[in-house]
Amino acid sequence: MQIAEAATKCGLTIETIRFYDRTGMLPHLPRDARGWRRFNSEALEWLMVLARLRRTGMPLAEVRRFAVSAQGPDAQTPRAQAERLALLQAHRARLAGRKAELEACEAYLDIKISVYEKELQE
């Protein structure tokens, strides 16, 4: 498939996909006779992984480290796997902290909403 179809399927912009390709976050993308990128199922799967990691708020530098580690020649070594695991665990811990912060904010909003609703009913 071509880049526009890949972008639609994974919810990324064409510019973002080109950036991911330029910075080594995607597996090698073959090109057709016109020089256009051709996306296979492996590339599409990687695009979805990258999109999900970014949607969680993972910093781009960490997403790149994860992708490069997972696609490098040593990707299956225990050291590389441990590096990716550590990246994911650290990010999950940040998400847990952010989630707790958002839940506290939501509780505060619930209290304020309740106060205003009561005042308007009186």
Q: Is 77 helix (H, G, I), strand (E, B) or coil?
A: coil
Taking a C-beta distance cutoff of 8 angstroms, is the pair 84, 70 a contact?
yes
The per-residue pLDDT for range 37-73, each reduced to its tens digit, is: 999 999 999 999 999 999 999 999 999 999 999 998 8
Is the Cα torsion angle 38, 44, 48, 50 positive or negative in sign? negative
User: Could you tell me the residue ranges of all domains in the chain?
Assistant: 3-121
Residue 122 has pLDDT above 90, yes or no: no
Q: Check if CATH label 1.10.600.10 holds for domain 3-121.
A: no
Q: Where are the beta strands (DSSP E) in the chain?
A: none
Confidence at residue 28, expressed as pLDDT on a 0 to 100 scale? 87
| Distance from chain centroid for Cα 118 | 42
pTM of the model: 0.82
Confidence of residue 109 (pLDDT cuts 50, 70, 90): very high
pLDDT tens readout for residues 80-93: 999 999 999 999 99
Q: How is residue 30 written in tokens?
A: 């073959």
Name the pLDDT band for 17 (thresholds 50, 70, 90). very high
Q: Which amino acid is at 35?
A: G
- Give which of 60, 52, 55 is closest to 19, Cα–Cα: 60
